[in-house]
Structure 1
Amino acid sequence: MPQDPHPRTASRRHYLMCPPTYFTVSYSINPWMHPDRPTDTDVAVAQWERLRDLFLDLGHRVDLIEPIPGLPDMVYAANGATVLDDKVVVANFRHAERAGESAAYKEWFQNHGDYDVVPAAHINEGEGDYLVSGTRILAGTGFRSDPAAHQEAEDVLGAPVVGLTLVDPRYYHLDTALSILTEDLIAYLPEAFAPASREVLAQLYPDAVIADPDDAAVFGLNAVSDGRHVVLPKAADRLAAKLAERGFEPVGVDLSELLKGGGSAKCCTLELRHADPTGAAR
């Protein structure tokens, strides 16, 4: 495995999160959701609070959006929008069960800061499928976001979009199969992508961390990196070891209850990227 001799440096981030106050699994819109299996909202809240506290302990800013009854998936805040340089593309969800979240996230951005807010015209599921990687945006399609939304995101956010096709329904969003570690380094599961997309990723990121299927299956790639610390499911132990070999500090968390809805650390975390680099401290 490639070794990186350079020390990893953390940068302070600004996140938006939503408490899982009304979390349950009452419908199924991805392979992880089984309404016949019980969920424990109190456990989900406790696990989510641990994740939020970890971010705060690492020095990041965390803002909260108020959860809404009847929208149990609102906890997966990453799906609500994509934010770059204070420009916001608000999600347009594929499934009716989540459609109400769009208005909630739009209202939050309109009422918090000087954001340029644009509701997506095409199906676009926020940072679930749109991951900012340095000067480009990696954009997933195949299960949720419409390919037509890629051009829309590029036009609004002002960064080139690289389309990637997902082929495994377990990894229905890009952020379940790929994680941004630094501006020029990613971790991903090749098997989750169409052959042409694998070729693109291999060309753009020749030194990428390659996850194994077992770690991907516990949502190890649904991780949050600040450039040094990588918060990921604690069950993804082999991936954590690979990250440590590359100079990162893996921080394991238990989000097993929220995995019942098809999400983990990244799904719960929407990054707010500001045009002013000091914006995270506003």
Structure 2
Amino acid sequence: MRTATPRRYLMCPPAHFRVTYSINPWMDPTKPVDPALALFQWEDLRDRYRALGHTVELLDPVPDLPDMVFAANGATVVDGKVLGARFANPEREAEAPAHLAWFRSNGFPDPREPVHINEAEGDFAVTSTWILAGQGFRSSPLSHSEAQEFFGRPVIGLELTDPRYYHLDTALAVLDDARDEIMYYPGAFSPGSRAVLARLFPDALLATDRDAAALGLNAVSDGRNVLLPRTAGGLLGPLRERGFEPVPVDMSELHKAGGSVKCCTQELRPPAP
């Protein structure tokens, strides 16, 4: 029997969400965004977390930072320790200090400003054993050793090769962190990284190209409930077969910027007991 573990998440309302520039293949400034629908979808996700017994903290949005809704990119928190982000694109640089200011004001001691480019939980996925770390499009490989030294956990570098999956969290999701269970899309990774994933996670759930292209890997799990885009219908049956409870949600407006459930959700992992 799968058991959900109460989580604490940080989210940022999409008050200023627009697609006004393009820094990934999903973003097309000529396609309009419906701000009211984006807010409705974001609020639905927030409310679902709370209904499942999780805590949602809120980060105030900043004008002229339309991607700030994607809170997962602002910091990585492991065992109560905070490693901030350093963004690859100038359009998002100002998000990093806004996140660090929130942590300093909310009881997190000494959040670390990184030296090397990392886009936080966009490219860091945390299990009980490892931190899986994406590279190839955004985060620098140098950020992997920086994270390993800071968190004291082994970091496994994974090379992303398909520009549609520019962040690790678009190609891989942690299903049960305590049991080191994941799902991923093999086509997003280099041959060597696919071999590493197959060796470390021989029983992983493998997504099809169709479900990956629906951003189905941009999902959040509490160990039992898996919130994922409703368009990734091919993942629902396999998740149920493994004892998980899929929770499909509509994030179609956020998809216009290449983000979905996980991109909107940063996990605030508490200190180790």
Q: Residue 55 of structure 1 aligns with which residue?
A: 49
Q: Residue 235 of structure 1 aligns with which residue?
A: 231
Alignment length, in residue pairs? 271
Q: Which moved more, 1:182-191 or 1:171-180?
A: 182-191
1:116 counterpart SS class: coil
CA distance in 2, matches of 1:209, 1:256: 24
* Residues 1:218 and 2:214 aligned together: yes
CA distance in 2, matches of 1:115, 1:197: 35
* Residues 1:28 and 2:22 aligned together: yes
Q: Specify the code of the residue in structure 2 equivalent to 1:185.
A: E
CA distance in 2, matches of 1:228, 1:140: 25
Q: Check conservation: 1:82, 1:130, Cα contact below 8 A.
A: yes
* Residues 1:168 and 2:191 aligned together: no
After TM superposition, give the deviation of residue 219 of structure 1 in Å: 0.3
Runs of 4+, deviation exceeding 6 Å: none
* Residues 1:194 and 2:190 aligned together: yes
* Residues 1:260 and 2:256 aligned together: yes
* Residues 1:45 and 2:13 aligned together: no
CA distance in 1, matches of 2:106, 2:31: 37
Of 79, 82, 96, the match for 1:85: 79
Q: Specify the code of the residue in structure 2 equivalent to 1:234.
A: R
CA distance in 1, matches of 2:230, 2:237: 11
CA distance in 2, matches of 1:15, 1:144: 23
Q: Residue 147 of structure 1 aligns with which residue?
A: 141
After TM superposition, give the deviation of residue 253 of structure 1 in Å: 0.2
Identity of aligned residues (%): 59
Structure 1: gaps (5+ residues): 1-6, 278-282
Of 101, 118, 133, the match for 1:107: 101
1:170 counterpart SS class: helix
Q: Check conservation: 2:159, 2:189, Cα contact below 8 A.
A: yes
Q: Check conservation: 2:82, 2:108, Cα contact below 8 A.
A: no
Q: Check conservation: 1:175, 1:222, Cα contact below 8 A.
A: yes
Return the TM-score normalized by structure 2: 0.98
After TM superposition, give the deviation of residue 170 of structure 1 in Å: 0.1
CA distance in 1, matches of 2:46, 2:187: 31
After TM superposition, give the deviation of residue 232 of structure 1 in Å: 0.1
Q: Check conservation: 2:182, 2:204, Cα contact below 8 A.
A: yes
* Residues 1:14 and 2:8 aligned together: yes
Deviations 1:100-157 (A, max 9, x none): 0001001001110133300111110000000101121000000000000100011111
Deviations 1:250-271 (A, max 9, x none): 0000000000011000000000
Of 121, 126, 131, the match for 2:125: 131
Q: Residue 271 of structure 2 aligns with which residue?
A: 275
Q: Check conservation: 1:92, 1:120, Cα contact below 8 A.
A: yes
Q: Residue 206 of structure 1 aligns with which residue?
A: 202
CA RMSD in angstroms comes to 0.7
Q: Specify the code of the residue in structure 1 equivalent to 2:102.
A: W
Q: Check conservation: 1:86, 1:116, Cα contact below 8 A.
A: no
After TM superposition, give the deviation of residue 241 of structure 1 in Å: 1.2
CA distance in 1, matches of 2:110, 2:194: 34
CA distance in 1, matches of 2:129, 2:144: 15
After TM superposition, give the deviation of residue 276 of structure 1 in Å: 4.9
Could you say if the C-alpha distance between residues 178 and 254 of structure 1 is closer, same or farther in structure 2, counting changes exceeding 3 Å?
A: same
CA distance in 1, matches of 2:43, 2:272: 29
2:258 counterpart SS class: coil
Q: Specify the code of the residue in structure 1 equivalent to 2:145.
A: Q
